[in-house]
A and B are shown apart, each in its own frame.
Chain A
Amino acid sequence: MQGQLLIEIVMRNRLTALVVDGNTTCWVLEQELLHSYGVQTLGVDNSKDAVDLIASDAKFNLIIIEKILPVLNGLEVTRQIREIGVRCKMLEVTACSGESERQAFLATGVGAFIEKPLDPEHLVHILRELDG
């Protein structure tokens, strides 16, 4: 079965993204969606690998992070990544959350907070912003 992506865009720059999600299905889908928009991606399935990667100076235009993760939770990882000094756009994507959690994440400086699934509408908006 083949079809057209529901939203198509032309990117000027080659963007890079890191996907952090403990759930393999989500991780695979998010990366494939990003690939389809020409974004080069790297995926990790736990907090420790995510923080180690960032601390080793790997650079990304976008970091997509799930709330519940092995090792440390998403909120703590987001804080640590910001403390390392990373200022790129971060997007929190999670299955469900309350208003207080949303506020806690936004307070860490994460750029955006959306409920799963990561859909093209939200993603395209962010990619356009990053592409300039």
Chain B
Amino acid sequence: MDLAALKTQLKNFVQSMFEEGVLDNQFSQIQALQDSTNPNFVEEVITLFCNDAEKIINEINRNLGYQNVDFSNLDSYVHQLKGSSSSIGANRLKLACANLRQASDERNKEG
């Protein structure tokens, strides 16, 4: 596939993520920050976010695996993930964190 076609495919993919609510307006802001002085900004930030998020999600899973879940420790991880996902425009992930926080507040391990 040639470069132009790949770019179009990527653009369409990103657009569908906006339409499905996976991404929100904050992601547009990040796209707007990319310019000739910082040409790979979007890619760099996404990579950074994914690395951070993976570590945090692993920690969350680990915490949830315990018999007695330490909800305040869990809360701190969820807070971080919510912060970074909302900052990057990962809307659905941000909403999932809010739900997780709610369940955590209710000490609801099943939730």
Count how many chain B residues have C-beta atoms less than 8 Å from C-beta atoms of the other chain.
33
The contact size tier of chain A is: 20 to 34
Given the known inter-chain contacts A25-B52, A28-B45, please indicate yes or no for A116 contacting B87, CB distance below 8 A: yes
Q: Which residues of B contact A115 (CB under 8 A)?
A: 86
Given the known inter-chain contacts A32-B38, A68-B76, please indicate yes or no for A26 contacting B32, CB distance below 8 A: no
B interface, over-half SS? helix
Cα A94 to Cα B42 in complex, Å, equals 22
- A-B pairs with beta carbons under 8 A, tally: 84
Stretch at the interface among A1-9, A10-18, A54-62, A104-112: A1-9
Closest to B44 in A: A28
Partner of B52, one of A1, A2, A24, A67: A24
Cβ of A25 and Cβ of B45 under 8 Å apart?
yes
Cα A6 to Cα B25 in complex, Å, equals 10
Looking at the assembled complex, report how far the CB atom of A41 sits from the nearest CB atom of chain B, in whole angstroms: 13
Q: Which residues of B contact A117 (CB under 8 A)?
A: 26, 29, 86-89
Given the known inter-chain contacts A2-B31, A3-B32, A68-B76, please indicate yes or no for A25 contacting B88, CB distance below 8 A: yes
Cβ of B88 and Cβ of A96 under 8 Å apart?
no
Cβ of A6 and Cβ of B32 under 8 Å apart?
yes
Q: Which residues of B contact A23 (CB under 8 A)?
A: 52, 80, 83-84
Q: Which residues of B contact A25 (CB under 8 A)?
A: 45, 48-49, 52, 84, 87-88
Q: Given contacts A25-B87, A96-B101, list 6 more A-B pairs with CB under 8 A.
A: A28-B44, A33-B33, A67-B79, A68-B76, A115-B86, A117-B88
B residues near A, CB below 8 A? Answer: 11, 14, 25-26, 28-35, 38, 41-42, 44-45, 48-49, 52, 76, 79-80, 82-84, 86-89, 97-98, 101
A residues near B, CB below 8 A? Answer: 1-6, 21-26, 28-30, 32-33, 36, 66-68, 94-96, 115-120
